[in-house]
Amino acid sequence: MKHAIQKVLRHLGYEVHRTRSAPASAAGKAANWIGEPAPVDSVWPLPRRPGGLSDNQIREELAKHDLWHYAFSFEGGISVSLRHRNVSPLATPERPLQRFRHFMPYLIAAAGGSLRGKRILDIACNAGFWSIQCALLGADVTAFDGRGELIEEAKLIKSIVGLPNVEFTVLDFWKMSPESLGGRFDIVLNLGILYHLTHPLEALQLTKSMAKTHILLDTTVYPSTEPVIHLRWEEAYDITSSIHSGIATNPSKSGLELMLKHVGAARWFEIPLRTPDMPEDYLENRRASWLVEVP
Ligand SMILES: C[S@@+](CC[C@H](N)C(=O)[O-])C[C@H]1O[C@@H](n2cnc3c(N)ncnc32)[C@H](O)[C@@H]1O
């Protein structure tokens, strides 16, 4: 019977492999040490600086940009629509709000219940959704992205909200260093970038070198119980993709955790899914998030 099913699957073009269970868990993989954190929601719609740009001026400024990865929404009923070159069913206006409710409560709890006064680095910040949220929660944020047009968008959002405690700059991931960014950070956000890079192990090493206490890691994962890294080709086409066309990588969950062990992270846990109100890729185990503590 088993062979018959395998034969049919092969006939349909599937490869059939025997998989062993994942190797013994990497040292450092820990039970969730946070427990059940208090729920936290994003500040949404975004507040506007009193005396700042008028409704019409905001609309005009937003309209100067073609593509938007976040459907920013502001007090007074002004918002911008999502626009990508590659339209993905995963890109919905709710997506960042759902992701926020998923992993930010754990980060805030790990930081002692508040981000106030924490120095945060937002890697590959796109138009600044995470940076703006952290700045609204009182953190001092440094953020960068490799695409200049996205940093222009982020600066526009910053000026509409009126935040002094966030700085946006154009930088390639591989040029990041404590020297280029004014020292290390209490918290490093490595969100939605690992799977755009060619060298995931080196990328995690570099991320760790930027962090004093915590890394929040969020990435797509390859669906295998083996510790593997899956290669694919990525064109530098959209505002969500790599800035250089080339090989991009997807580690499996156990592959990612072995890499965390290799780079010397102190301990980590995968942030549990606590609600079905999450994007499909998280619900289907194609994407996951980790809270990582560094020594
Ligand atoms: C999928 S988006 C993730 C945005 C955001 N971090 C989030 O999780 O919502 C990937 C971002 O990485 C940026 N990016 C890709 N390759 C980069 C590189 N080598 N250096 C800096 N930014 C890069 C893209 O411009 C894009 O804004």
* pLDDT given at position 89: 84
Q: Is the peptide bond before 37 cis (omega within 30 degrees of 0)?
A: no
Count of CB atoms within 10 A of residue 12's CB?
7
Residue nearest to atom 13 of ligand 1 (CA): 124
* pLDDT, averaged across the chain: 93
Please tell me the least confidently modeled range out of 23-32, 46-55, 157-166.
Answer: 23-32
Share of the chain above pLDDT 90, in %: 88
> Ligand 1 pocket check: which of 129, 149, 195, 196 to mutate, most ligand atoms within 8 Å of Cβ?
196
Which residues have any ligand 1 atom within 6 Å of their CB? 124-126, 129, 145-147, 150, 172-173, 191-193, 196, 240, 242-243
pLDDT(135) > 90 = yes
Q: What is the pLDDT of residues 64-82, one digit of tens each?
A: 999 999 999 999 999 999 9
pLDDT(130) > 80 = yes
Q: Which of 3.40.640.10, 3.40.50.1000, 2.40.170.20, 3.40.50.150 would CATH assign to domain 25-41+94-293?
A: 3.40.50.150
> Ligand 1 pocket check: which of 65, 90, 145 to mutate, most ligand atoms within 8 Å of Cβ?
145
* pLDDT given at position 250: 97
Distance 290 CA to ligand 1 centre (A): 18
pLDDT(2) > 80 = no
- Specify the ligand 1 atom closest to the Cα of 147: 25
Distance 155 CA to ligand 1 centre (A): 16
Distances in Å between the alpha carbon of 93 and those of 46, 84, 90, 98? 14, 12, 10, 10
Q: Where are the domains of the chain?
A: 25-41+94-293
Amino acid at 81: S
189: nearest Cα among 136, 102, 133, 125: 125
How would residue 14 be classed by pLDDT, with cut points 50, 70 and 90?
low
pLDDT(228) > 80 = yes
The pTM is what? 0.92
pLDDT(269) > 50 = yes
Residue nearest to atom 24 of ligand 1 (CA): 240
Average pLDDT over residues 178-206: 98
* pLDDT given at position 22: 44
The CA angle 98-100-104, to the nearest 5 degrees, is: 145
pLDDT(1) > 50 = no
Residue nearest to atom 15 of ligand 1 (CA): 242
* pLDDT given at position 24: 43
Q: What is the pLDDT of residues 229-262, one digit of tens each?
A: 999 999 999 999 999 999 999 999 999 999 999 9
Q: Residue 215: left (phi > 0), alpha (psi -120 to 50), or beta?
A: beta
* pLDDT given at position 26: 67
* pLDDT given at position 212: 98
> Ligand 1 pocket check: which of 72, 102, 243 to mutate, most ligand atoms within 8 Å of Cβ?
243
Residue nearest to atom 12 of ligand 1 (CA): 124
How many Å apart are CA 109 and CA 114, to the nearest integer? Answer: 7
